[in-house]
Structure 1
Amino acid sequence: MTFFEQQHQARQETRKLVLLFALAVIAIVVAVNLAMALLWIFKFGSHHGALRQYPKGFFEVNTLVTLLLIGGGTLIQTFNLRDGGDAVALMAGGRIVSPASGDLQERRLLNVVEEMALASGIACPKVYLLEHEDAINAFAAGYNQNEAVVAVTRGTLNRLTRDELQGVVGHEFSHILNGDMRLNIHLIGVLFGIQMIAGFGQQLMNVGRYWGGRDDKGPPWQLVLFLAGLVLFVVGYIGIFFGRLIKSAVSRQREFLADASAVQFTRNPEGIGGALRKIGGLTDGKKIGSQINHPNAEQLSHLFLGSVRPNLLDGWFATHPPLAERLKRIYGRSMSPLEAPELAVPYAASVERLPDLPFAVAGLAGAAVASAAVSPAGGLPTPSLEFGNSSGKAALTSQLNGAVHDPFAARAVVYALLLGEGAEREAQLALLKNETPQQAALTTFLAESIVQLPLSARLPLVDLATPALRQLAQPERDKMLALVDQLIAADSRITLAEFVLQTILARRLAPRSGRLVPVKFNKLSELDSDIAVLLSLVAHVAVPASHADAVGARLAAFLRGARVCPELNLAAQHYCDGAGLGFPRVRLALDHANQLAPLAKPQLVKALLAVADDGAALQITSADILRAICAGIEAPIPPAVAATYHAYPWQFDS
């Protein structure tokens, strides 16, 4: 099942979520009205000898208050989670792991996450650590792949080998790439809302316990309020019941898929398999297994790799499949649990090359580009990031490797990628010196290392720098993006490389980059002019001006892509020449395409790839523009594009 099919399935699961939510609300409203009616009888029926008539609007008020509590709770929690993955990680008690961390275990985790991000062609996610959790568990969260976070427990770092940690991270990357995260955040808000009644009941119990009001009619109000709170607290557990039902309905099969994806990503069933076996060993031994002790654990339980609480309700109501069943699907046979002691050496000293990470399930092809080399001191391994193939490889210098992990220096990496030549360079450096002289000096220094890299390494460098850049406060991000615009405008024109970099940075760092983008267009035919612009743009990039018949070849490339989308009825007259491909028009086309329904996007990506594919090897310039468009519409890059970054035979600058 492809990435887009998974997103479509997630939308269908959302409809199921809406139905179950409606049933839960109806059940709670009925239960609250019944409880309030019985309390009314308890308070007034015995005193009058007969049931006093219910006040006018009695049941309507009960219903309205109940709906306000549920709806208000859902809206408040959804608003609290507007920042996506970061908000969820903080809600779980996580702390961000600095990209420049020197802790051996944290460095290992960051290296593994970077490898997965480079292999998949997406921005490297932020990494959070649940410091006080000794169990083995992890989750991924966010509204889209551009602002995803990956969080793991301290027990995961202490108890898993590198291969097992890689399997766990691969499992979480499946959730990132398969569209699970958005649904999971919606689920958090919904569950909070339907459990608000229990919280309101608890408050009423507290009022009843300490309130001193009295009257001479029937039982004292103190007792009535306490009983009302107790009843509502019990009724509120209808929300927990439905919460379990909803989570089991939408999450269990996706855990099977994520397990299978982790095996395909790493080509090593012992990775995720070993981690799950160790969870089983901890469950049988110390009874901690994958248990999370944070107060919000139950509310977030559907996000995690393993069950956060013992399954009191098995079968339909369990949030995760049984470990034995998950292991049997991974290995093809029953497997026994493993002991999970804390590792004496947190980082295994190995110089063997890591296995390839094909990302087959996500529709991505590409190899891992990192290998671990142990430092002379025998401690912290330093990743050697390689790009290209046997005809040319380049490793990141220690300066660049350090720069991409530091927020201040990561900005200089971005600026260095934009430096031109001659008068343009002098104008750009003058702008940087106005910012800070140190930034200009660092940019110039890093540019010397960047120029030694093949072109296929430049955008992956931005992927590595993204977590550090996201550590900047939003005003600092805005300031950086504004300076990027000024650097690009220094020569009064925008090149392909500048457009690509600007597009990717805006999608990842702009104020609303992590927010939910609603679907406004269900079919490609609703965006025919916008798609014509994007196809024309790729045609202009794929066919250089030096081509003997550039105009004819570009038109032929455009029509090649148009044939992939026959429902658009695009013809030669819809082709846009250079004058029709201004930056504002292309930006508008990208914004509209990002609002397409998930199942409409794969056809668009396929058409764009057809424009660039003339039967020869995909050029890096074509790969770059396709990568930028995919980032703009929040879609994974296709296999041919990923392969270009890992295996293109570039000649190295001398």
Structure 2
Amino acid sequence: MTFFEQQDRARQHTKKLVFLFALAVIAIVAAVNLVVALAWTVNSGTHHGVAHHYPKGFFAINTLITLMVIGGGTLYQMFQLREGGDAVAEMAGGRLVERDSTDLLERRLLNVVDEMALASGVACPKVYLLDDEDAINAFAAGYRPDQAVVAVTRGTLTRLTRDELQGVVGHEFSHILNGDMRLNIQLIGVLFGIQMIASCGQYLMDSDTRTSRRDRDSKGNSDSLLWFAVGVGLFAIGYIGIFFGRLIKAAVSRQREFLADASSHQFTRNPDGIGGALRKIGGLSRGKKLGSQINHPNAEQLSHLFLGTARPSFLSGWFATHPPLEERLKRIYGRNMPPLDAPELEQPAAEPGERQADLPFTAAGFAGAGGAAAFSAPTPVAAVGAGTPSLEFGNSHGTAAKLPSQLDGAARDPVAACAVVYALLLADGAKRDPQLALLNAEVPQQSALTVLLAESIAQLPRSARLPLVDLATPALRQLTPAGREQLLARVERLIAAGGRITLAEFVLQTILLHRLAPQGGRPTPITFDQLSDLSDDVAVLLSLVVHVAVPAATPNAYEARAAAFQRGTAACPGLGLSATHFRSGAELGFPRLRQALENANQLAPLAKPQLVKALLAVTDGACNTSALSIASADLLRALCAGLEAPLPPLVAAAYSDYPWQFDN
């Protein structure tokens, strides 16, 4: 099943969620009316079922109040989660793992997450750690793949080997890439709403215990006991919400766990990765303990997000939020597998001989050491505390080459990551002078660093530059909202200072706008159901890819471009596009391109793959070569980011000559 089919299935699950939510609301409203009616009857001394003793509009008012509580709770929770994954991770008690962390377990986690992100062509997600959870569990959250976060428990770090940790992260990346996360956040809001009645009951019971003895004596015990009884009744009704919550989660999440397990196996090519993690959860679950249990108060509400069952359940079968471990393991290995012991492992040790260049880099360290000297003065590992392996990429000769340590370190620091962005935008020759003048005027403390980083970037292969942006994204996302806006505005001024916008500048700005804009972490509305609603925008995007895939210097460029555009339009039958819709370079201004991509991102999920297929068709056979040029790959990478789509295999293959991998 493709990414877009998964997204469409998520939309279908949303309809099922709405139906079950309606059933839950009806059941809760009926139960609340029953409890309040009984309380009224007891308090008034009347007999059961004498309806004329109830005040006028009694049941209507009860129903309205109940609906307001449920609806208000849902809307409140959705508002709280409007920023996506970060809000969910904090709701679970997570702590952001800093990119410059020197804790070796945290470094290992960051490295594994970065590897998986760079291999899949999405921005490296932020990483959170649930420090107080000793069990093995993890989750991914966010509205969009490029805005995701990954969270793991402390037990996942201390009990799993690197291969097993990689299997867990691969499982969570399946949820990122398969479009599961948006539905998961919607589900959190729904569950909060239908469980609000239980919270009201808890409040009434707690209010009774807070009432002073003098107040109870002055008013009599009857009112206090009555409200306490109502609280008990409402709290019991809350289990209707829990029941329907489990039913909803089981309806939308069980099969996705099987898919995520299979995807993890596919990503890592190692069944003992995710398999070993699940077997260790089974080992921790011996006796009455649950090896994946989450103890945070919000665990029930978030249980559908996690890798394993977060809370013990008196419900099983169709009402379980996760498939049985035994069944998941059998699907991974093809046979029954016994559980494994899961003791805490020894802390990984830094390799002998690691130097300052392999350690986290900070902009403050650069400024304090006097610029470039900070990179040339090695410091023993013992003096800093821990080692951080450097990222590697293969070169055109098939051998491994270290990513320059200053780039590796700078990409992990929020301030220095901005300098990485500026360095990627620096032009050559005289065009660089106005850009440097702008930097000297606005951010003089970063100007020298930008020049130094630009020299290192110039030594990188072209295919390593956008992955460097992916690596820097988590640090850039740690900037304040004002800081992000300043960065994006300065990027625009740097491009303008350099003269006419280049392809590399368009690609970089498109990716940065998608990932760092104020609304970047929020869900994208679906406005257009069919590709035919956007014929003009499709022509603009196809024309852009044609210009890049078939450069002007190509022999018979006019005929080659016409043929390429025709291949793209042939992949979009029914749009009525012809050669007359091809746009010249002068017609492809950045504002028009941005608007076309924003509109295309509002397409329904199953309409997007047709557009991606058409964009790829344009490059098929361009310039008489079967390999996709890195220029075309960069452009398609940016367009896929704008469409919130994973990289097609053909695009990912353009970067495969330079695999990014960490040592530990």
TM-score normalised according to structure 2 size: 0.91
Write the distance in 1 (CA, Å) between the matches of 2:329 and 2:351. Answer: 28
Q: Which residue pairs with 1:249 in the alignment? A: 251
Q: Which residue pairs with 2:317 in the alignment? A: 315
Are the aligned partners of 2:511 and 2:642 in contact in 1 as well (CA < 8 Å)? yes
**Structure 1 unaligned blocks of 5 or more:** 351-374, 650-654
Q: Which residue pairs with 1:439 in the alignment? A: 446
Q: Which residue pairs with 1:371 in the alignment? A: none
Q: What displacement does 1:288 show?
A: 4.5
Shift of the 50–255 alpha-carbon distance from structure 1 to 2, 3 Å rule, reads closer
1:519 lines up with 2:517 in the alignment: no
SS at match of 1:298: helix
Shift of the 227–627 alpha-carbon distance from structure 1 to 2, 3 Å rule, reads same
1:638 lines up with 2:648 in the alignment: yes
Write the distance in 2 (CA, Å) between the matches of 1:49 and 1:559. Answer: 75
Q: What displacement does 1:569 show?
A: 2.0
1:224 lines up with 2:231 in the alignment: no
Mean CA deviation greater in 304-313 or 333-342? 304-313
1:406 counterpart letter in structure 2: D
C-alpha offsets along residues 536-563 of structure 1, whole Å, 9 cap, x if unaligned? 1100111111122222221211110110
Write the distance in 1 (CA, Å) between the matches of 2:48 and 2:657. Answer: 87
Write the distance in 2 (CA, Å) between the matches of 1:157 and 1:206. Answer: 38
Are the aligned partners of 1:503 and 1:632 in contact in 2 as well (CA < 8 Å)? yes
Write the distance in 2 (CA, Å) between the matches of 1:66 and 1:426. Answer: 66
Are the aligned partners of 2:94 and 2:128 in contact in 1 as well (CA < 8 Å)? yes
Corresponding residue to 2:283 among 281, 284, 288: 281
Q: Which residue pairs with 1:366 in the alignment? A: none
1:24 counterpart letter in structure 2: A
Corresponding residue to 1:469 among 461, 466, 476: 476
Write the distance in 2 (CA, Å) between the matches of 1:207 and 1:47. Answer: 28
C-alpha offsets along residues 560-603 of structure 1, whole Å, 9 cap, x if unaligned? 01101102121111111122211111100000001011111111
Are the aligned partners of 1:45 and 1:51 in contact in 2 as well (CA < 8 Å)? no
Q: What displacement does 1:41 show?
A: 1.4
Q: What displacement does 1:634 show?
A: 0.6
SS at match of 1:307: coil
Q: Which residue pairs with 2:434 in the alignment? A: 427
Shift of the 391–550 alpha-carbon distance from structure 1 to 2, 3 Å rule, reads farther
Are the aligned partners of 1:388 and 1:456 in contact in 2 as well (CA < 8 Å)? no
Shift of the 565–56 alpha-carbon distance from structure 1 to 2, 3 Å rule, reads same
Mean CA deviation greater in 280-289 or 540-549? 280-289
1:578 lines up with 2:585 in the alignment: yes
1:9 counterpart letter in structure 2: R
SS at match of 1:152: strand
Are the aligned partners of 2:138 and 2:151 in contact in 1 as well (CA < 8 Å)? yes
SS at match of 2:654: helix
SS at match of 1:150: strand
1:161 lines up with 2:153 in the alignment: no
SS at match of 2:545: helix
Write the distance in 1 (CA, Å) between the matches of 2:62 and 2:143. Answer: 35
Q: What displacement does 1:317 show?
A: 1.2
Write the distance in 1 (CA, Å) between the matches of 2:143 and 2:630. Answer: 30
1:577 counterpart letter in structure 2: S
SS at match of 1:128: strand
Are the aligned partners of 1:279 and 1:337 in contact in 2 as well (CA < 8 Å)? yes
Q: What displacement does 1:616 show?
A: 2.2
Shift of the 347–88 alpha-carbon distance from structure 1 to 2, 3 Å rule, reads farther
Corresponding residue to 1:617 among 627, 640, 649: 627
1:370-519 superposed matches below 5 A: 380=387, 382-390=389-397, 394-519=401-526
Are the aligned partners of 1:10 and 1:179 in contact in 2 as well (CA < 8 Å)? yes
Mean CA deviation greater in 70-79 or 305-314? 305-314
Shift of the 401–48 alpha-carbon distance from structure 1 to 2, 3 Å rule, reads closer
C-alpha offsets along residues 590-645 of structure 1, whole Å, 9 cap, x if unaligned? 00001011111111101001101215211111011101100111101110110101
Q: What displacement does 1:187 show?
A: 0.4
Shift of the 634–36 alpha-carbon distance from structure 1 to 2, 3 Å rule, reads same
Write the distance in 2 (CA, Å) between the matches of 1:104 and 1:48. Answer: 67
RMSD: 2.3
Write the distance in 2 (CA, Å) between the matches of 1:494 and 1:49. Answer: 77
Shift of the 477–48 alpha-carbon distance from structure 1 to 2, 3 Å rule, reads closer
1:231-246 superposed matches below 5 A: 231-246=233-248
2:296 counterpart letter in structure 1: H
Are the aligned partners of 1:161 and 1:348 in contact in 2 as well (CA < 8 Å)? no
1:191 counterpart letter in structure 2: L
Q: What displacement does 1:49 show?
A: 12
C-alpha offsets along residues 469-528 of structure 1, whole Å, 9 cap, x if unaligned? 111111111111111001000133100000000000000011010001111111101111
Are the aligned partners of 2:125 and 2:474 in contact in 1 as well (CA < 8 Å)? yes
Write the distance in 1 (CA, Å) between the matches of 2:222 and 2:84. Answer: 47
Q: Which residue pairs with 1:35 in the alignment? A: 35
Shift of the 410–215 alpha-carbon distance from structure 1 to 2, 3 Å rule, reads closer
1:534 lines up with 2:544 in the alignment: no
Mean CA deviation greater in 403-412 or 260-269? 403-412
Write the distance in 2 (CA, Å) between the matches of 1:586 and 1:557. Answer: 19
2:11 counterpart letter in structure 1: R
Write the distance in 2 (CA, Å) between the matches of 1:48 and 1:101. Answer: 66
1:337 counterpart letter in structure 2: P
Shift of the 285–344 alpha-carbon distance from structure 1 to 2, 3 Å rule, reads farther
2:490 counterpart letter in structure 1: L
Are the aligned partners of 1:389 and 1:646 in contact in 2 as well (CA < 8 Å)? no
Write the distance in 1 (CA, Å) between the matches of 2:304 and 2:578. Answer: 48
Write the distance in 1 (CA, Å) between the matches of 2:293 and 2:350. Answer: 26
Corresponding residue to 1:604 among 584, 592, 611: 611
Shift of the 47–60 alpha-carbon distance from structure 1 to 2, 3 Å rule, reads closer
C-alpha offsets along residues 342-375 of structure 1, whole Å, 9 cap, x if unaligned? 112436979xxxxxxxxxxxxxxxxxxxxxxxx9
2:236 counterpart letter in structure 1: V
**Structure 2 unaligned blocks of 5 or more:** 353-379, 660-664
1:256 counterpart letter in structure 2: F
Shift of the 561–322 alpha-carbon distance from structure 1 to 2, 3 Å rule, reads same
Write the distance in 1 (CA, Å) between the matches of 2:50 and 2:84. Answer: 55
C-alpha offsets along residues 114-169 of structure 1, whole Å, 9 cap, x if unaligned? 11011100000000011111111100000001110000011111010000000000
Q: What displacement does 1:408 show?
A: 1.1
Write the distance in 1 (CA, Å) between the matches of 2:551 and 2:281. Answer: 55
Write the distance in 1 (CA, Å) between the matches of 2:65 and 2:216. Answer: 23
Write the distance in 2 (CA, Å) between the matches of 1:538 and 1:215. Answer: 80
Write the distance in 2 (CA, Å) between the matches of 1:246 and 1:301. Answer: 12
SS at match of 2:655: helix
C-alpha offsets along residues 179-229 of structure 1, whole Å, 9 cap, x if unaligned? 11101000000000000011112222334452847999x993222222212
Corresponding residue to 2:328 among 326, 329, 346: 326
SS at match of 1:559: helix
Write the distance in 2 (CA, Å) between the matches of 1:292 and 1:435. Answer: 47
C-alpha offsets along residues 435-484 of structure 1, whole Å, 9 cap, x if unaligned? 23220000001111100001011100000000111111111111111110
Q: What displacement does 1:413 show?
A: 0.7
Q: Which residue pairs with 2:572 in the alignment? A: 565
Q: What displacement does 1:379 show?
A: 6.6
Q: Which residue pairs with 1:367 in the alignment? A: none
SS at match of 1:284: coil
Are the aligned partners of 1:111 and 1:383 in contact in 2 as well (CA < 8 Å)? no
1:573 counterpart letter in structure 2: T
Of all paired residues, the percent bearing the same amino acid is 69
SS at match of 2:346: coil
Mean CA deviation greater in 228-237 or 125-134? 228-237
TM-score normalised according to structure 1 size: 0.92
Q: Which residue pairs with 1:261 in the alignment? A: 263
SS at match of 2:323: coil
Write the distance in 2 (CA, Å) between the matches of 1:416 and 1:409. Answer: 10
Q: Which residue pairs with 2:357 in the alignment? A: none
Write the distance in 1 (CA, Å) between the matches of 2:91 and 2:49. Answer: 52
Shift of the 149–648 alpha-carbon distance from structure 1 to 2, 3 Å rule, reads closer
SS at match of 2:59: helix
Are the aligned partners of 1:70 and 1:193 in contact in 2 as well (CA < 8 Å)? yes
